[in-house]
Amino acid sequence: MTRRAVFLDRDGTLNQVVMRGGRSYPPETSAEFVLLPGVREAVIELKSCGFFLVVVTNQPDVGAGRQSKEVVEAIHDWMRDLLPLDDVRVCYHTDADGCTCRKPAPGMLTQAAADWNIDLRLSYLVGDRWRDVDAGRAAGCRTIFIRNEYDERQPADYDLAVGSLLEASEAIRLGRV
């Protein structure tokens, strides 16, 4: 049996980012990890529609030595306690590593699809950065961009732009994307 999935970015999609100089950064501690409004409801709605839910997140601060893997894993344990997630995939590499898992490469999505029998053509990627959208496109998913005001490149090609994960879940549920 193949599954339909929603791949969810973490920072800026599920939780608040820390903004410094117009750039977004992940929370540095579990105490800084705060779910965005409507996230719990959105994830529960997606789960009730039968979607397999996979978080796909770049955490290059670990690879760069600015964050510990233990803190990131503690944040993910806490996140799993709050939300009905099926899997969490993490890339700890930096751009310089040239890996196939760091978004915008589709490796986290394609590996999860292979591991969990997910049909990427029937799946969605929801994220707040160009890297998320590009990874979803490269994997063959429909893509939903959560608009932001980051001082960085914006995605050029996505299926739908929304203001929040709750709006994205509603669009998916209603078949608008």
CA distance 145 to 159: 8
Active-site residue, selected from the candidate residues 9, 128, 132, 134: 9
Strands 52-58 and 23-25: unpaired
CA distance from start to end of the chain: 23
Please count the CA atoms within 13 angstroms of the CA of 101 that sit on its side-chain side.
Answer: 16
**Whether residue 9 lies in the annotated active site:** yes
**Whether residue 11 lies in the annotated active site:** yes
Phi/psi region, residue 12 (left: phi>0; alpha: psi -120 to 50; beta: rest), is: left
Phi/psi region, residue 78 (left: phi>0; alpha: psi -120 to 50; beta: rest), is: alpha
So which residues are the catalytic ones? 9, 11
